[in-house]
Chain A
Amino acid sequence: MGTTDGKVVGTTKLIDNGDAGLRWNLTILGDGYKDTEQPLYKQNVDAFVAKLKTTAPFDSLWKAINVYRIDVTSTDSGADDPRACGGTGVVAVTYFDAHFCERGIRRLLVVDNSTALSVAMNQVPLFHMAMVLVNTTVYGGSGGAVAVFSQAPDAAEIGLHEMGHTVFGLADEYPYYAGCETGEQGHDRYTGADPSEPNVSATADRALLKWRTLVLPATTLPTMSNADCSHCDGSASSVANGTVGAFEGAQYFHCGLYRAEYNCRMRELGNPYCAACRQRIRETLQRHLP
C-alpha cells in the first residue's frame, strides 16, 4: 500500500487571502477517498475549513490565512481498521496508507507522514502546516509533523488540538499522563524546570506568569489548587467561565504546573483554546495579516 495505490490529482487554493509568500498557508490532503468520492472529500474539507474559520482566534485572523486543498485519490475507500484493536477488520489500499491501531492503540489513526510531507512540499512549496483528512467515520487521529483525523463527528477537534502543538508549540494541559483513573505513579507533583511552552507554568507568581498581562488584578493566584496531589483535581471550576488565572494541574502532572484557564482545547477536546493559547496563536499569525 502506498503511492502506487492512487494519485495526486491537483491542488486548489480554497481560501485565497493573498500572496502565499506573505500569508500563513494551511494545506489539507485526503486519504482513502476514491476517485468517485472526491466530491465527498471536498465537502469534508469545506466543513473543516468552516469550523476553523469560526474558531477563535482564527476567526479574527482569517485574512492572514490561505487554505490549499490537495486532491489525492486512493484505490480503496477508508482506512485499515484491524480486528486486533477491536476494529472492523477492514483493509483499505490507500495512497498515504492510513490505518488505525498504530502500535496497537485503537484510536491512533496515522498515515505515512513522509509521503504526506513530500506531496505537500511538491504541491504547495510555501505551506506552513499539513493535515490529512481520512475518509472513515471511525473516530481517531494523531499528531506530529502532519495532523491526521477521521471524519467522525468530533474528530476535527483532534486536528485543532494537534495544530496547537505542531504550529504554535502549545503544551498539553491535561493534568495526567495515562489517565486520572489509572492510579498512575510519578505524576503527582512536578518539580522540574519551568516549561518553555507559553500555556503552562511552574509558578503561579503574578510577576512571573507568562500570561500575566491577561490576568485581572482582582483574580486570586493560584486561582485553583489541587488539595490532593495523588489524584487529578476533579472539582468544578470555582470561578466564572473564561477567567484567566493559574489553575493547578497541567502537562501530565496533578500538581506543580499551572494552566491559564479552567478548561482549554489543549486540556480537553471540544473546548475553546484558552486565552494563553489564543495569545500565542495571535503572536504567530499576526505577521501574516495584510
Chain B
Amino acid sequence: MTMSKSHKTEPAYGSPNRTVRLLFSYEGDKVELVGQQHITMLAPPSDALEGYDNQAGFWIEMRDAGGQTLYRRCMSNPIQPSVEVFSNEGSHSIHREDVSEPKGAFFVLVPEMEKPTKLALCASAKTPGKPLQAAKEFAVFDVKGRS
C-alpha cells in the first residue's frame, strides 16, 4: 500500500550540532564499518520516523537499545549493482549498466546521540525479473554515544 508521509515524527536527538561521520567500505554485498569520527557540525535532517514499513529504496536508521528508531535518512543506495552512464556530450541522456562485484567506500552523517546506538542499513533486494520489495535491514553497526 502506498502511504502518505504527512504524519512526520520529529527525531529525538539531543545536541543538534554534534554529528558522527561513519565511513564504510564494501565489496559485493559485504559492508564493513571502517571508521567513526565525532565532529561538531550539522547532520542532515531526519526523515519521518514512522511509515516506512512498505517502502522500497535505501535508508539508514539509528535505534536506541530498545529498538526504537531515533533517526532516519533516505538516501540513494551507495552499494549499487549498476553504474550510471553518461551518453556522449551533447545528448544529455543517462542510462544504467550492470556491474559485477561492486566495491568502494561511502560515508553517512548521523546526529550524535547521548548513548550508544545501533545504525541499521536498510535496502530493497534487487532480484532480476521481480518487483522491488519493501526495504529490509541488511546490516547493523554499533555507534558510540557522547558519554
On A, residues with C-beta under 8 Å from B are 20-22, 24-25, 102-103, 105, 107-108, 113-114, 117, 121, 125-126, 128, 139-145, 152-155, 157-158, 161-162, 165-167, 169-172, 174, 176-179, 186, 190-198, 201-203, 205, 207-208, 210, 252, 268-271, 283-284, 287-288
Contact = CB atoms under 8 A, between A and B. Distances in A.
Interface string B32-69: 00000101111011010000101111110000000000
A232 to B, nearest CB: 11
Interface of B: 2-5, 17, 21, 23, 25, 37, 39-42, 44-45, 47, 52, 54-59, 73-76, 78, 80, 82-90, 92-97, 99, 104-107, 109, 124, 128-129, 131-135
A193 B132 contact: yes
A271 B94 CA distance: 13
A154 B89 contact: yes
Contacts of A169: 73-76
Given A114-B105, A139-B86, A194 B2 contact: yes
Given A105-B97, A195-B132, 8 more contacts: A107-B88, A128-B41, A145-B107, A176-B95, A186-B129, A190-B131, A194-B55, A269-B93
Question: Binding site of A, secondary structure by majority: helix, strand, loop or mixed?
Answer: loop
Contacts of B99: 103
19 contacts: A21-B42, A114-B25, A117-B23, A121-B37, A139-B89, A141-B86, A144-B104, A145-B78, A145-B104, A145-B105, A145-B107, A152-B89, A161-B94, A191-B131, A193-B131, A194-B54, A197-B74, A202-B2, A269-B94
